[in-house]
Structure 1
Amino acid sequence: MTPSEGTVAGDTPEAPAAGPSREGAPSEAYGFYVVGVLMVAYMFSFIDRTLLSLVIDPIRKDLGLSETQISLLVGFAFAAFYTLLGLPFGRWVDTRGRRNLIAIGIALWSVATVFCGLATSFWRLFFARMAVGVGEATLSPAAYSIIPDYFTPKRLGFAMGVYSCGVTLGGGLAMLLGGLVVQWAATANPVLPVVGQVAAWKVPFLVVGLPGLIVALVVFTTVREPPRRLEKGGAASVAPKISEVVGYLWRNKRVYAPLFAGFSAIVIAGYAFNVWGPAYFMRVHGYTPAGVGVIYGIGFALFGTLGVLSGGAISDRFAAKGALDAPIRVSMWSAVIQAPLFVGAYLAPAPLAAAALFIVALFFGSIYGGLQAAAIQALTPNRMRGQVAALYLTIANMIGLGLAPTWTAWMTEHVFGGPKMVGVSLAVTTVVSLSVGVLLLALAMKPARRQMEQLL
């Protein structure tokens, strides 16, 4: 591998090596620092990604949009480029430096989030959401590739769990802080320099977009490229051609097909409550944006974070005892437990009961957060990880973001009778997607164990 193939400007050349004590390898403590920084980046990405869900009804009223148009803004506009560019970014991750790609992506989605707050029409907001998707498409393929180079397989589940806490912390903070900002802006009628007076729903986008640029700077100045690990047997890890990656996936389709499809089905349930959960609590139970923020703050940021970390710790414990399929097994059982809790929350007649069930459900609904990445990385040779991770994220987000918001909105409008019935639509989405996910993950476990044994 020549320097031009393996590095980009500002990245250190990557030298393959094996094991945590390999020469030039960073310490585990620094590894957790990097995971922490990437978690903060992931947190900001999820804040920017999900903030729109909190202000669905104000945007719909201000811009005169339908439920379906809103679902396109929340889902398709973001998912189109997020999924389209995932594969080329995955190829970049496997052939070039990862740090700079992450920093550039963070800067792009942060600026795009500010433009969401400046949008005055459906199409301007649509294209701003597309740009957010382009920026965010860089992060997870690079993180999925770089984190395993800092940790041994027995510590990988917890490390990936820490990274995945960005989802729960970001989702919780987006709703908690966003709700407070929206409620304040609704009464304060703020006037901003250059922009002038802005609608209350726009203010959170302006508030959360700009700090992301600081995160980009921290990544660029403090995160170092770790040396890539050697493959089994000490062979040098060289980025394969796309045709080789496709051939590897095809030869192992009995594990990758049900695994990708199973996790993607579970993602549908997650995106359904991310997108329409706030609207459900406000429409059906009369919660204010600030009240929804408290529910999500407690449920997502606290219980969800505990769920992600618990999932990683439980999986690592089983893996240490020889259960190589632990990430898949733990994810499957978390889906079984969360399903009745979410359905109960969506159909509960009392506001307090709905909130309590939802908060508990978020603990179990977050357990698989880091385990999907750990499972895929454990099945994949080192220099294929970026491309395979990008392919998985492309499929999962195309299905989750592309299908869940619009499918749920369509059922609400055309099957169950209007906006007030969004809870019934969410319950149906949850039952169908989680049932399919559990069945597919069960099919993946046996071939996954065999493949993991071959890579150890």
Structure 2
Amino acid sequence: MLMIANSLAFVDRQILAFLIEPIQRDFNVSDTGMSLIYGFSFTLFYVAAGIPLAWLADRSNRRNIAAGSILFWSLATSACGLASSYVGLFVARIGVGAGESGLGPASYSLLSDYFPREKLATALGLYQAGIYVGGAIALIFGGLFAATIAPGDHMNLPLIGPTAGWQLIFLLLGIPGILLSLIVWLAVREPLRKTPPPQIRAPIQGQEDINAGAPAKGESFYDAFRQLNAHRRFYLGLIGGFTLLIFVGSGTAAWIPAFLAREYGMSLADIGRYYGIIMLICGLSGCLVGGMLASAMRKGQLRHGNLVAPLIGSSCLIPCTIAFPLMPTASLALAVIGAMNFFGGFNLGGGLASLLEMTPPRLRAQISMTYVIAVNVLGGTLGPLAIALMTDYVFQDPADLGQAIAIICAIASPLAVIAIVSALRPMKTQLAGMAAAT
């Protein structure tokens, strides 16, 4: 059920990338302006709402937080369809970001209490597969819709009045989330919070056990900061590495539909059909294979196997992210995009499992929110923006979007691998200490 919710969240995110071209025409907006709606508007209140919601998730019912988040962002998605100006759409996207900020930390904390450490990477890989399932649904649905009613066409709707095709898509996408919020509230069980291993309970030698006390009690922001500081080499390496991966992933996801249209003349219907199917098959399989590999290595002799799997995937991503925008034909570009989606999904389960395994249970929502803020504010916002700025101000030609993507990815993808490598040694050391203490 949580995976379905995550899928729906990424339907609402990815549909904007699919609709960039008709929205640009209606509002006369540059690539940079669209990147601000895609990234900055979304993360503006994602952070402001996410921090207190993560704090609350460490102290209260996480299922209720997830259900309320789904309802709020679904209403905001429909509000995007009522926007009649760039500013109105910007404000509605702020609401989408504020709503989605509560799902991730609550879900990560729930899953870490549902599953043992040896199976957590597989479970998280399945949950994170929602990124690709949701993105694919947005593309396929948008493509089918575009084949019937062009997103740039306009019509008169009862009670609403003049409406563009892209606005109707947003209005319709809000409905499933309203229903799903009720299902999550009724069907998802709130589990007991687990007791952490001794080495995780007391991260700073000589200080009291920050997890002692009543099971329902959460920890303060200071306790979360203390945990991050005690293991800063690990957290900086992992969060920094995945921020760079999301920088690349969000940047390419935001601009691939526009790139395919500008570079190869593909219609929106064809982009939705072909790119959507590729994202579904390759991204989903990458999440599952990567998660299962991480779990298998973690269950075997490689205690830090949860982080080795993302290192493999991120290394394979480097040539894919640089090569796809330089392919001479749409077919070759889509083939390399498929490989990129596979290895992008390959990283997610093991990376999140590493983060949660190294974090005390009653700090997981707050520290996972630190991760979520970093990957969304720095990765999700700056990735699309960097590509747009390169296109608008360096090349000064929308037709050079492919070259802008290739240059940005050539810088960020190798840096992501370096950061993940830096997290391996402190993780190995900490896990060895945990094993000796049990």
**TM exceeds 0.5?**
yes
Q: Distance in 1 between matches of 2:339 and 2:415?
A: 22
AA aligned to 1:313 is M
Does the CA-based 8 Å contact 2:248-2:383 persist in structure 1? yes
Give the corresponding residue for 1:216.
181
User: By how many angstroms is 1:397 displaced?
Assistant: 0.6
Sort the Cα spacing of 1:455 and 1:88 in 2 relative to 1 into closer, same or farther, 3 A. Answer: farther
Residue aligned with 2:236, SS: helix
Farther off after superposition, 397-406 or 236-245: 236-245
Structure 2: gaps (5+ residues)? 202-211
Q: Describe how 1:22-421 pairs up with structure 2 within 5 A.
A: 37-186=1-150, 190-232=155-197, 237=215, 238-421=217-400
- The 8 Å contact of residues 144 and 386 in structure 1, kept in 2 or not, is answered as yes
The letter of the residue matching 1:118 is L
CA contact (8 A) 1:378 1:452 kept: no
Contact 1:179 1:293 in 2 (8 A): yes
- In the alignment, residue 162 of structure 1 is paired with which amino acid? L
Distance 1:452 1:183 in 2: 53
Q: Distance in 1 between matches of 2:400 and 2:311?
A: 29
Distance in 2 (alpha carbons) for counterparts of 1:280 and 1:303: 19
Partner secondary structure for residue 324 of structure 1: coil
1:174-196 Cα deviation digits (max 9, x unpaired):
11111221332229855433113
- Separation in 2, partners of 1:391, 1:42: 18
- Indicate the larger mover: 134-143 or 313-322: 313-322
Would you say how many aligned residue pairs link Structure 1 and Structure 2? 420
8 A contact 2:63–2:188 mirrored in 1: yes
Distance 1:74 1:327 in 2: 31
Moved more, 223-232 or 98-107: 223-232
Q: 1:165-216, CA deviations, whole angstroms, 9 ceiling, x for partnerless residues? A: 1101001111111122133222985543311341121121112111111110
Tell me how far apart the structure 1 counterparts of residues 402 and 304 of structure 2 sit (CA, whole Å): 34
Give the 3 Å change call, closer, same or farther, for CA 455–104 of structure 1 in structure 2.
farther
Deviation at 1:421, TM superposition (A): 0.8
1:340 is displaced (CA, Å) by 1.1
| Separation in 2, partners of 1:186, 1:68 | 24
Output the CA distance in 2 between the equivalents of 1:331 and 1:431.
18
Q: 1-side partners of 2:86 and 2:260: how far apart? A: 25
1:255–1:447 contact (8 Å) kept in structure 2 = yes
AA in 2 matched with 1:272: G
Q: Distance in 2 between matches of 1:449 and 1:281?
A: 43
Question: Quick one: which amino acid aligns to residue 359 of structure 1?
Answer: G
Deviates more, 1:81-90 or 1:386-395: 81-90
In 2, are the aligned partners of 1:264 and 1:400 still within 8 Å (CA)? yes
Give secondary structure in 1 for the equivalent of 2:359.
coil
Deviates more, 1:162-171 or 1:189-198: 189-198
Q: Single out whichever of 416-425 and 226-235 deviates more from structure 2.
A: 226-235
Matched residue SS, 2:395: coil
How many angstroms apart in 1 are the aligned matches of 2:301 and 2:15? 41
Structure 1: 4+ residue segments shifted above 6 A? none
- How far apart are the structure 1 equivalents of 2:311 and 2:323? 20
Over 3 Å counting, the alpha-carbon distance change for 1:109 and 1:285 in structure 2 is: same
Q: What do residues 312-357 of structure 1 show as CA deviations (whole Å, max 9, x unaligned)?
A: 0000111111212222211122111122123221101111111111
TM-score by length of 2: 0.93
Query: Which letter does structure 2 place at the counterpart of 1:161?
Result: G
Preserved contact between residue 182 and residue 204 of structure 1 (Cα < 8 Å): no
Quote the Cα distance in structure 1 between the aligned partners of 2:184 and 2:279: 25
Q: Which segments of 5 or more consecutive residues in structure 1 lack a partner in the other structure?
A: 1-36
In 2, the alpha carbon distance for the partners of 1:290 and 1:331 equals: 33
Q: TM-score, normalised by structure 1?
A: 0.89
Q: Is the 8 A contact 2:143 2:272 kept in 1?
A: yes
Matched letter for residue 221 of structure 1:
L
After superposing the two structures, state which structure 1 stretch, 288-297 or 179-188, moved more. Answer: 179-188
Distance in 2 separating the partners of 1:449 and 1:296: 39
Q: Distance in 2 between matches of 1:452 and 1:82?
A: 32
**RMSD of the alignment, in Å?**
1.6
Query: What's the secondary structure of 1:198's corresponding residue?
Result: strand
- Compared CA separation, residues 387 and 270, structure 1 to 2 (3 A): same
d(CA) in 2 for partners of 1:196, 1:160: 43
Amino acid in structure 2 at the alignment position of 1:223: V
CA distance in 1, matches of 2:400, 2:59: 48
CA distance in 2: counterparts of 1:248 and 1:356, whole angstroms: 42
Cα distance change, pair 454–85 in 1 and its aligned pair in 2 (3 A): farther
Partners of 2:38 and 2:381 within 8 A in 1: no
Matched position secondary structure for 2:380: helix
What is aligned with 1:26? none
Q: Distance in 1 between matches of 2:357 and 2:158?
A: 50
Query: How many angstroms does 1:244 deviate by?
Result: 1.5
CA distance in 1, matches of 2:147, 2:81: 16
Percent of aligned pairs with the same residue? 33
Shift of 1:389: 0.1
